[in-house]
Structure 1
C-alpha cells in the first residue's frame, strides 16, 4: 500500500475535507442505531404500539409491519440528527477553514495525502477556557484508508504543534459510539478525564454520552 504524508491544509483541499468529515460522521449511524435498539426504554417505546395494534387488529402481520415502519421512521430520525450535526459543523469552523485555522493565532489544520489524494485531516486550536491547553478537532480518516496509522500520525502532528508553542495539554472529545477512536487515543496516552451526557432531550433520554480526553505534554 502506498505511503502517506502529512502537510498543511490548502484551499484546494476544501471540498474533500468537508466530504471526509461528513462521511466519518454518517458512518456512526449503524452503531448508534444498534445502541438505541438495545436500550430498555427504546424497547418499551416499540413494544407499547406493537401490543396496542395487536390488541386492536388481532393481526401479527399488521402489528409487525407497523413496528417495522416505526423502526424505519426512527432510523430516518436518527439520520436526520446526524445530518443536522454535519450541516452545523459545515457552517461553523469548516465553513472557512483558512480563517478558522490557518489564519487564526496558534491554530493549524493538516491533511494526510496518499498518491495525490487527501485521505485524512485534523485541526487544532487554543481552548477558550485555559491558556495552557489546546483542543484537537475534526480528526477523520477515509474509511478505506484506516488501520494504516494515519489517525495516530495526524494526532502526533497536532500534539507536536502544541508542544512547540509551549502548551501543556491537548484536549478532545468524542462520542461513546466511536470505540475505535477511544482505542486510538488511549493507546497514544490520552487520559479519559470526564464522561457527560450530550446536551438535548433525546440524548438525555438515551444516555448518549460524550467522552473527554486529555494528553499531557511533557
Structure 2
C-alpha cells in the first residue's frame, strides 16, 4: 500500500473509471453462470425437456443439439442481464460523475492511484431511504492490483467520510456471487441485513439475490 494514494475523482479519470467498472462487473459473469448450472430446478426442467424431445424424435443428435442450444441460451441470457445493468449504470450515476458525486452535498467519488495510474475506485452518497445512512457504491479494484489492501482502504475512506458528515451507518449492495467482496465487508465489520431476489425473469427463476450489508459507525 506504500505506493498507493487515494484522491478525489477528476474529469481526466472518466475513461479509466468506466473501463474498470465494466471489467469489474463482467468478470462476475462466469460465476453467475456456474451458479445457474447448479440449480436443481434447471436440471429438472432441462431433463424433462430433453426426455420429451428424445421420446418424440428418437434422435440422440437432436437431443444433444437442444442441450447445446439451451446452454448457449442460458449464457447469453445471463450476459444480457449483466450488459443491461452496465448500460443502465453508465447512463445513470456514471454518466456525469462530477454532477452526481462531486458537486452534491455529502457525496464524493475517489480513485486509488499507483505510479500515476488509477487502480481502484469507490463512491459515496446519501441514502434515499434513510437520512442517517450513507451508501457505498462503485467499489472496484483493477485485476492486477488486488490482494494489496486497496479495497479495504477505499471502504475505510467511505466509512470515515460518512462519520465526518454525521451519518450513523454505511450501507451497500452486492450480488450473491461476489464471494471475495463478502469476506472483505465482513472483516471490516459490515453485517448482512437483507437479501433481495433480482426482479427479473432470470432472478425469479434462479433466486439470484442481492445482499445488503451495513456498517454501524461508532459514535
TM normalised by structure 1 equals: 0.95
C-alpha distance in 2, partners of 1:89/1:62?
Answer: 40
C-alpha distance in 2, partners of 1:98/1:197?
Answer: 32
**1:106 matched to 2:106:** yes
Q: CA deviation at 1:2?
A: 7.6
Deviations 1:77-118 (A, max 9, x none): 110110000000000000000000000111000001112111
Which residue of structure 1 aligns with residue 175 of structure 2?
175
C-alpha distance in 2, partners of 1:203/1:139?
Answer: 23
TM normalised by structure 2 equals: 0.95
**1:76 matched to 2:51:** no
Which residue of structure 1 aligns with residue 215 of structure 2?
215
Alignment length (residue pairs) = 218
Structure 2: state its 5+ residue gaps: none
Once the two structures are superposed, the pairs formed by residues 14-93 of structure 1 within 5 Å of their partners are: 14-93=14-93
C-alpha distance in 1, partners of 2:9/2:208?
Answer: 33
Once the two structures are superposed, the pairs formed by residues 147-162 of structure 1 within 5 Å of their partners are: 147-162=147-162
Deviations 1:26-52 (A, max 9, x none): 111111111111111111222233222
C-alpha distance in 1, partners of 2:167/2:109?
Answer: 17
Structure 1: state its 5+ residue gaps: none
Which residue of structure 2 aligns with residue 11 of structure 1?
11
C-alpha distance in 1, partners of 2:17/2:32?
Answer: 23
* Contact persistence 1:124–1:134 (CA under 8 A): yes
Q: CA deviation at 1:209?
A: 1.1
* Contact persistence 1:108–1:125 (CA under 8 A): yes
C-alpha distance in 2, partners of 1:9/1:61?
Answer: 56
**1:136 matched to 2:136:** yes
Q: Which segment drifts farther, 131-140 or 50-59?
A: 50-59
